Amino acid sequence: MPVIQIAPSILACDFARLGEQVVATAEAGASLIHVDVMDGRFVPNISIGLPIVQSLRPLADQYNLTLDVHLMIVEPERYLEAFATAGADILTVHVETCPHLHRTIQQIKELGVKAGVALNPATSPTLLEEILPEVDLVVVMSVNPGFGGQKYIPASTNKIRRLRQMLHVTRSAALLEVDGGVKVENAAEIGRAGADILVAGSALFHGDIAANFKSLSLSANNQ
């Protein structure tokens, strides 16, 4: 079976040590870096933007990392080209912010970047049914987006199962990513439900990064 990946979310890192901590995750075994971009409008917080993606690109090249950029912003289509130019490998938009989602996904792919779509906890997976064959990544928000360190919403597990079945039925090759409240204690449950990638922030960056990464990976893969 494919190995379930752990994607470090730099939202939880010490930004005074950003490069150092990203390198630590790479040396621990990470192959993706999750970058949360928040605008203070779609979500009640402002985080990071283009300069951080630009600064991470050389490290990503050096350590063979994928920059997984999650756009929690309104009108994301206005910024797709800029983030692609900055160095994003994956651009994920929210179904809630894209009235013309198919067109937005096409825009991302035309930029030579992989396309992802995310949905909030209260959003039904059925809204993604028509777009699943077109995307490379589906992101289940298992907390209400905007802040790190929140508790996993238990109903997310059933949503993951439903989406895994939908991906199978539509024959989509998209990976299924879960973002929010991932801990050692629930990583196995999330993995068994059908996730391919688990985004981890505070559970990874608070303490020994290498030890935390190993514990999360072992739990997610039920070892």
**Residues taking part in catalysis:** 36, 179
Task: Report residue 191 as tokens.
Answer: 């993995």
Query: To the nearest 5 percent, what fractions of the chain are helix, strand and coil?
Result: 45, 20, 35
DSSP string, 104-159: HHHHHHHTT-EEEEEE-TTS-GGGGTTTGGG-SEEEEESS-TT-SSPPP-TTHHHH
How many Å from the N-terminal Cα to the C-terminal Cα in the chain? Answer: 13
CA neighbours closer than 13 Å in the CB half-sphere of residue 168: 8
Question: DSSP letter at 6?
Answer: E
- Within 10 Å of residue 203's Cβ, how many Cβ atoms? 26
DSSP string, 163-199: HHHHHHHTT---EEEEESS--HHHHHHHHHHT-SEEE
